[in-house]
Every structure is written in C-alpha cells, then in structure tokens.
C-alpha cells in the first residue's frame, strides 16, 4: 500500500520496512499466532508466556492540543486507555484473558507536559485496570518509567508493555483458521456497557493521517510542536474542522470522535472463550493493516468480507476530506469493526449474543475460503458497491 497522503506524513501504514527487519527473527513456539508466544519462563511445559509492547501513538498530540485549548487534563486518561488496550486486545487474540502484568513508559518534554498531565496519565492506567476488574479481567500494575526527553520528544509519548502467562491448552493460534470458517466482527463504535460515552470507533491507528486531513491549519500555526518539521507544511493540518465542530452524521464533535478512547473487547472475549473455545479457530485485532490485517495469517486462504458494518461517520469524514483512496482506507483504518472471531458457523450466533450482552453490535462480516489462485493469502472486501482485492 502506497497511500501518498499517509506516507508523505512520515508514517507507514503496513510497516513493510519493519516486517523486513524482523523477517529472520524467531516467531516463537506458536509461529502462526497473532502475537509471539514464548516458552514459559518458569519452565512449566504446560504453560507459555507472551510479552507485548505498544502505545497510543500520535493520538497523544491530539490530547495535548485539547488540553492547551481547554485546560482539561483529564483527556489524557483516554490516552492511557489507548496505550493499554492496544496491548491487551492483541494478547486477547492468543487466548490470554487475565492476569496481565503492566509496565508503562511515558516520555515527555517537561517544558510542555506538566504535572497535571502526568497525574491524569498515571491515574488513567489505574482507573482502566479498576474498571476491567469489575468484569473479571485483571491487570497488575507493576509501575513504569517517566522520562524527561525533550531533546527527542516535542510533547508526550505514552506506551505500555504487558506480560502474560497462560496454559498452552488455552492458546488460540491463527494458523488454525481454515476454509469454512465464518468471520464474526465486533463493532468498534457505539457505547458498550463499560464505556462512559459514545465511541466513534477510531481506535489508535491512522491518527497521523486523520488529524492532518481533518483539522484546520490554525492548529499548525499555534502548536508547531505537534508535528514533525520533516513534513511538508502543506500536508500539516490541511482540513477545515476544529475540535468543537459537529461531526457530520453524528452527535459527537470532531474532537470527541478523534479522541474516543480505544475500545477493549476483553470482557466479551473472556466470556466467549470460556463458553465456545473449541469453536474458535483464530482471532484478529484489526489495528495496523485495518481490514486487511488478516492477510498475514494462515496459509492459502481467501478472506472474503462482504457484509461489513455501515462505515462510522469519523471514517466517512476522513475519506471525504482526504486523497486516501477508498481501497486504501481499509488498509489503514478498522472502518467499523476492530475484533474478529474466526469460528465454526454454528457458534456465530452464540458469539454475537455474548457481544450484545455488553451492548456491542456484532455480526457475521464474511467467511474464509481456500485461495485457489496462488500459494499466498488473499483478501476481498465488498462494500458500498465496490470490490477491493488485496493479494
């Protein structure tokens, strides 16, 4: 994927250079799993472990602008949640659903990111863990590092690392995805019972493109610290919207939509796996790579997604305000659902029912067939009278 509007802002949506760099690295003891899985560090042959690192990405700069405009540092609690969920929900895809050991890393420019922001970030980690504990998803906060690195960071970087240990018999590996599976997608938008407000569905992917194509140039002039000086100034905040403007087709403002905390599916996944584990052949978190993320998993598979959710307003806005081609939108953003179960057809309605208990819309969004056209995998997306193929 070579989306000029994305690459020109210094971001690679498919991270092809990263994949090349790690190509020769060990893929762990379950090579087809969504995350790298290691031998149990204690040495128990019936267990395994995983350590995962991720963060909120450039979404933290949006929170920074919001804070400078409104003086409300509590917006950074959502950034802590973004950082945690990007790790937790990846680990859900290998079957890990409890006892996550969390370390956080905050790198800031102390001249711009003050004590009020740090307080909200740190408390944001803890409050999210407390909220999840109500649904029997337990996180152990192991502390972390706050570094003043103004020579490297203009505002703030919010990252997390999570370690988890689980029985090998509970592992979900995407190498088991097979022809005949249906794909159950869980919506990324709406308001789950464990969320405080409506979620736009944006998550924490593609925010560099989103904020620059949607927000107006005034933010570039007033907050030059929120973008890289290596980007062509014409590509910076070149939209027409302000934070307080109403998002077309929504009751949210543009700022609320862009800053919606990344939804976790942990309570849903924990219940689904406790009841229907034997019917689940794989799980995929549609983050980097969007709806084409699945292409990297399994062998000789044709992923067909022909019943997607209606595209949420935030993605329609990004598409309408940018030169990102419709086909490329599905490689950058989740476009309406961010968690996928690959399962036996007879289990689909049961999984959908569990999701709906948590007020999360879910449905069969597609199916898996054999790829008869080559040795690799293929993805076909049918949406809005368009057919997009990725090989």
Beta bridge mates, 190: 199
**Which residues does the chain have with pLDDT short of 50?**
1-2
- Residue 151: inside a domain: yes
Of residues 288, 24, 304, 294, the one with CA closest to residue 174: 294
pLDDT at 189: 98
pLDDT at 27: 86
pLDDT at 1: 39
Burial 106-141 (b: 16+ CB within 10 A, else e): bbbbeebbeeebbebbbebbeebbebbeebebebeb
Domain of residue 122 covers 4-199+259-390
> Rounded to whole angstroms, how far apart are CA atoms 195 and 263?
8
- Residue 123: inside a domain: yes
What are the tens digits of pLDDT across the range 265-317?
Answer: 999 999 999 999 999 999 999 999 999 999 999 999 999 999 999 999 999 99
Specify the CATH number for the domain of residue 284: 3.30.1330.10
- Residue 246: inside a domain: no
Q: Using an 8 Å Cβ cutoff, are 121 and 59 in contact?
A: no
Count how many domains the chain has: 1
- Residue 208: inside a domain: no
pLDDT at 56: 98
Judge residue 229's burial from the number of C-beta atoms within 10 Å of its C-beta, 0-12 exposed, 13-18 middle, 19 or more buried.
Answer: exposed
- Residue 291: inside a domain: yes
pLDDT at 11: 61
> Rounded to whole angstroms, how far apart are CA atoms 331 and 370?
22
> Rounded to whole angstroms, how far apart are CA atoms 290 and 287?
5
- Residue 153: inside a domain: yes
- Residue 20: inside a domain: yes
pTM: 0.94
- Of all residues in the chain, the percent with pLDDT exceeding 90 is 92
């Amino acid at each position: 994927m070579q989306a000029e509007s994305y690459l020109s802002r210094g971001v690679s949506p498919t991270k092809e250079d990263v994949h090349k760099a790690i190509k020769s690295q060990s893929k762990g003891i379950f090579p087809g799993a969504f995350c790298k899985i290691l031998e149990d560090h204690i040495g128990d042959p019936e267990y395994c472990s995983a350590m995962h690192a991720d963060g909120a990405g450039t979404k933290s700069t949006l929170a920074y602008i919001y804070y400078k405009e409104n003086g409300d540092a509590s917006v950074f609690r959502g950034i802590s949640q973004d950082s945690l969920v990007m790790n937790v929900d990846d680990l859900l895809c290998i079957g890990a659903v409890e006892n996550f050991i969390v370390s956080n890393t905050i790198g800031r420019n102390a001249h711009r990111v003050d004590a009020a922001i740090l307080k909200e970030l740190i408390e944001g980690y803890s409050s999210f863990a407390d909220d999840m504990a109500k649904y029997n998803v337990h996180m152990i906060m192991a502390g972390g590092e706050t570094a003043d690195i103004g020579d490297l960071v203009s505002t703030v970087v919010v990252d997390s690392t999570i370690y988890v240990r689980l029985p090998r018999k509970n592992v979900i590996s995407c190498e088991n995805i097979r022809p005949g599976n249906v794909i159950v997608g869980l919506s990324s938008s709406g308001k789950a019972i464990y969320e405080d407000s409506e979620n736009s569905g944006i998550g924490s992917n593609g925010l560099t493109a989103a904020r620059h194509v949607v927000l107006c140039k005034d933010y570039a002039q007033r907050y030059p610290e929120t973008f890289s000086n290596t980007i062509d100034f014409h590509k910076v905040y070149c939209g027409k919207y302000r934070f307080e403007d109403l998002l077309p087709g929504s009751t949210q403002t543009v700022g609320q939509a862009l800053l919606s905390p990344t939804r976790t599916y942990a309570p849903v996944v924990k219940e689904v796996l406790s009841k229907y584990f034997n019917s689940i052949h794989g799980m995929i978190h549609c983050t980097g790579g969007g709806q084409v993320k699945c292409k990297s998993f399994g062998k000789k598979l044709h992923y067909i997604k022909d019943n997607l959710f209606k595209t949420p307003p935030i993605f329609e806005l990004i598409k309408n305000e940018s030169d990102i081609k419709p086909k490329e939108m599905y490689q950058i953003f989740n476009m309406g659902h961010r968690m996928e179960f690959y399962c036996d057809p007879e289990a689909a309605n049961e999984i959908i029912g569990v999701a709906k208990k948590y007020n999360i819309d879910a449905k069969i969004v597609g199916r898996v067939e054999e790829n008869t056209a080559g040795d690799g995998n293929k993805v076909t997306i049918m949406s809005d009278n368009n057919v997009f193929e990725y090989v």
